[in-house]
Chains A and B, each alone.
Chain A
């Protein structure tokens, strides 16, 4: 081995990715898989996260899995893009700090930690890697109005002096983007805390580090792309952002039109970019697909359908003459002919909380059967495995496995 002392030699080469959580606010889409496996465009969110890590030259990935762990394992197997993956099981989800502890035997020395359900530009990862020199923990700091949701930080030069978990609105603009670098000392801190508490968020450990020793937690400002999906309709904006950036895994056939080689697109079809059609998908004659349509692997779009601003996940069939705007359809759905989902805005009720003016035509969870001529009123949510009969007008929420007839 050479003894070159270039900067890259000392950068962390291992990363821990937290992918054990369900993502409760994304129900009913998470019935069969954890949030990191929900579609961002046509690929799981987690695939984009791993892409960012590998693009940032990480060559050793540790995935902490829990909720529906087999879905993660069977998708990625033992390697992704030739980088080996080691799995660590978190049997009960007791917070992000507890999740990280499950990977204690994984990385050696300094390592990166990212969330498996947040899309990040690989340059954020690189920035954190480079900034992680003298501190126990280094985290990426992003500026934006989301501080209210994600917890604000006080950044003094390159040092984090305070984490504020529930900031009062608008007081703070800097927040923690959930991309960290740690030395292995973090594990000792976490273990000391875990003895005392049941639930163990990572932020508790970072608070502890700040309290124990000044300058032990560093922060690095970044303005690269960072995006999270909190609610089911966020999958639409996530898909739009990815399509606009061309972060899709299919070859370009024309500027922002991406079609996999194994897809079958009828010559009399109009694809309006940005649009992606993934492998083995079928687009029948006369369909108009896009702008902002993500058609997943082995999905079928029936003839004459008009789709814009949609995410159609793997193996779902959309019948002929469907009109769908702002629609999220999960995996393995059978949608009959002539569905109408005219798009938002809508008031959506989720867990007794009303979200006003959401741009959402509807959400159809995995393996839903919809008969011919059904209509989704804006904001409709259909639970997994539900059956909706011919001509039904769907309003509000339909429970998992239920059957609705006109």
Chain B
């Protein structure tokens, strides 16, 4: 998983366009970066954040009128200069950037070595420029050499190559995202639209199997048989500035504060408070499924747990599966099973693989995603958009909140039968203001002063609040690097309780005053007996606030909406904890925003 950029037709601005593009793709990975320029065939590569490459660029002043660039997140070989992209052949005639995994690279490498080629890196990518060079040596023209090479690759990839003496970028997509930006006398290529959206909003979304021959004057899209394909140019609406930090210290904090707006957008126009009905126009015609299987990873998986819980409450058999496990041990499906993939980016490789597996077994699939035209949205039978707006911080915040609202809309649309949804609609309409009131008054930052040097952080909850507990712990570990675990509250005593000490604060998410809440109060006493300080995240319905050592209050609301609010308090705690510890909040080590490798 990495980020690719390319541009043609920008003359002496080429280096700046490539570097700016890489900067906007840094969320895809950032352990090394590099660029290759034509016609000079200058190649610069550097491990570390993009600034390290920028220094090299400033120092060496490379020249070129077109080029490709790459920001890397290691899958093969440690992050160092040698493994950074672009990779070249021995003579430096071909330079290649690649996102994804070439599964048959060992075999291709052996073939190359057998013919006397020396490979200098640990990466799977390096075979590509050598194969292209071999084809050139065998007399093929550059385009044919590129096609012949791509034909031999197995796995998932988005590739872009430049070849000496051709003012052309050759690119191919198979399983990893790649888009073309269409400018006036200039052409762009990238893993994602933000890389060039400040130059053009006219975009071609490529499909798997597509190859692109791009020049400054235009581009040709071909299929695997090298036949031209008609593609549509779409105009994307978001602007480059929409991905700026708006004066916040971090994207994550900006996105936490954007939640009222994101939730409003998610819900707007999808309910009729007068009639008490919810409508998702996108899936108006879907019949009620017999069963629902959610597939997702990371934060989206926590949203899936919540979605499955509310569907079960409505009488529909529903389960959440980790996408990376789903295809390895596929649960039985029947006619009438709906498989729902939740993925913010719509490009998460594990989730796409699980959805493809489901599709191959003949069941209908639905993508709940934030990204219009993403691979998941296009490949599934149905797509529902959560409309949260661009999310740049690696740690998902506003998209999780919007996914929870999306799950409610999805469940109410899918399940037939007359019922009065006015109370639910009221609580969902109140969510933006309820979230705002937490943002206006949260005590989370103050709590950090008290607990910042703890040994570990535990998060517990029951029912739909299990999802909140797991998400709270994930957020905490992702950005603060502190040890954090989330558990269904009842599971503590079956093992994890052994870890609980006076140095491990426990966050207990307790909403409402039903049996689940009362049982969680018992678990609070359980950990207090081991000396652990307890922070109750509660709406005040139960006695949690009285029993706990500290409280993070949320406004009173419906039980469906309460998890969204409780989670906002935990987001703020993790953010302020990471900030107090001086962590690089928007770019935590070893992580990237959308994980496009399996």
B226-279 with Cβ < 8 A to chain A: 239, 241-248, 254, 257-258, 260-261, 264, 267-269, 272-274
Residue of B nearest to A316 (CB): B433
B417-465 with Cβ < 8 A to chain A: 426, 429-430, 432-434, 436-437, 439-440
Asked if A65 is at the interface (CB within 8 A of a chain B CB), the reply is: yes
| B269 cross-chain contacts in A, Cβ below 8 A | 261-262, 280
**Least Cβ distance of B536 to chain A in Å?**
20
| B264 cross-chain contacts in A, Cβ below 8 A | 280, 297-298
User: Do A315 and B246 touch (CB < 8 A)?
Assistant: no
Mask for A89-102, Cβ within 8 A of B = 1, else 0?
10000000000000
A26-78 with Cβ < 8 A to chain B: 32, 65, 68-70, 73-78
Contact of B242 among A74, A78, A284 (CB under 8 A): A78
User: Do A332 and B242 touch (CB < 8 A)?
Assistant: no
Main secondary structure of the interface of B (DSSP, over half): helix
Asked if A85 is at the interface (CB within 8 A of a chain B CB), the reply is: yes
A69 to B247, CA, bound (A): 9
| A78 cross-chain contacts in B, Cβ below 8 A | 241-246
**Least Cβ distance of A3 to chain B in Å?**
22
Residue of B nearest to A80 (CB): B241
A303-326 with Cβ < 8 A to chain B: 314-315, 317
User: Do A266 and B429 touch (CB < 8 A)?
Assistant: no
User: Do A332 and B247 touch (CB < 8 A)?
Assistant: no
Interface size on A, residues (CB 8 A): 37
**Least Cβ distance of A304 to chain B in Å?**
14
| A298 cross-chain contacts in B, Cβ below 8 A | 264, 429, 432-433
A280-B429, A315-B433 as given contacts; A300 in contact with B273, CB under 8 Å = yes
User: Do A73 and B247 touch (CB < 8 A)?
Assistant: yes
Mask for B38-60, Cβ within 8 A of A = 1, else 0?
00000000000000000000000
Which of A65, A82, A84, A298 has the most chain B CB within a 10 Å cutoff? A298
A400 to B37, CA, bound (A): 63
User: Do B247 and A266 touch (CB < 8 A)?
Assistant: no
**Least Cβ distance of A76 to chain B in Å?**
7
User: Do A76 and B246 touch (CB < 8 A)?
Assistant: yes
Asked if A138 is at the interface (CB within 8 A of a chain B CB), the reply is: no
Asked if A215 is at the interface (CB within 8 A of a chain B CB), the reply is: no
Asked if A375 is at the interface (CB within 8 A of a chain B CB), the reply is: no
Contact of B437 among A73, A87, A367 (CB under 8 A): A367
Contact of B274 among A86, A89, A266 (CB under 8 A): A266
A227 to B245, CA, bound (A): 32
User: Do A314 and B433 touch (CB < 8 A)?
Assistant: yes
**Least Cβ distance of B508 to chain A in Å?**
25
| A297 cross-chain contacts in B, Cβ below 8 A | 264
User: Do A264 and B433 touch (CB < 8 A)?
Assistant: no
A76 to B242, CA, bound (A): 10
User: Do B429 and A65 touch (CB < 8 A)?
Assistant: no
A297 to B239, CA, bound (A): 24
**Least Cβ distance of B267 to chain A in Å?**
8
| B241 cross-chain contacts in A, Cβ below 8 A | 77-79, 84-85
A352-374 with Cβ < 8 A to chain B: 367
| A339 cross-chain contacts in B, Cβ below 8 A | none
User: Do A315 and B429 touch (CB < 8 A)?
Assistant: yes
User: Do B433 and A77 touch (CB < 8 A)?
Assistant: no
| A367 cross-chain contacts in B, Cβ below 8 A | 433, 437
Residue of A nearest to B258 (CB): A74
Asked if A331 is at the interface (CB within 8 A of a chain B CB), the reply is: yes
Residue of A nearest to B441 (CB): A32
Which of A65, A74, A85 has the most chain B CB within a 10 Å cutoff? A74
A85 to B430, CA, bound (A): 29
Residue of A nearest to B431 (CB): A315
Asked if A282 is at the interface (CB within 8 A of a chain B CB), the reply is: yes
Asked if A279 is at the interface (CB within 8 A of a chain B CB), the reply is: yes
Residue of A nearest to B253 (CB): A70
| B247 cross-chain contacts in A, Cβ below 8 A | 65, 69, 73, 86-89
**Least Cβ distance of B518 to chain A in Å?**
26
**Least Cβ distance of A372 to chain B in Å?**
17
A198 to B247, CA, bound (A): 26
| B246 cross-chain contacts in A, Cβ below 8 A | 73-74, 76-78, 85, 87
A140-191 with Cβ < 8 A to chain B: none
Residue of A nearest to B259 (CB): A74
| B244 cross-chain contacts in A, Cβ below 8 A | 77-79, 84
A32 to B442, CA, bound (A): 12
9 contacts across the A-B interface (CB closer than 8 A) = A32-B436, A73-B248, A74-B261, A77-B258, A88-B247, A279-B268, A280-B429, A332-B436, A332-B437
Known: A78-B242, A79-B241. 14 other contacts (CB 8 A): A73-B247, A73-B248, A74-B258, A77-B242, A78-B245, A82-B239, A84-B244, A85-B246, A86-B247, A282-B273, A314-B433, A331-B433, A332-B436, A332-B437
User: A residues engaging B (CB < 8 A)?
Assistant: 32, 65, 68-70, 73-79, 82, 84-89, 261-262, 264, 266, 279-280, 282, 284-285, 297-298, 300, 314-315, 317, 331-332, 367
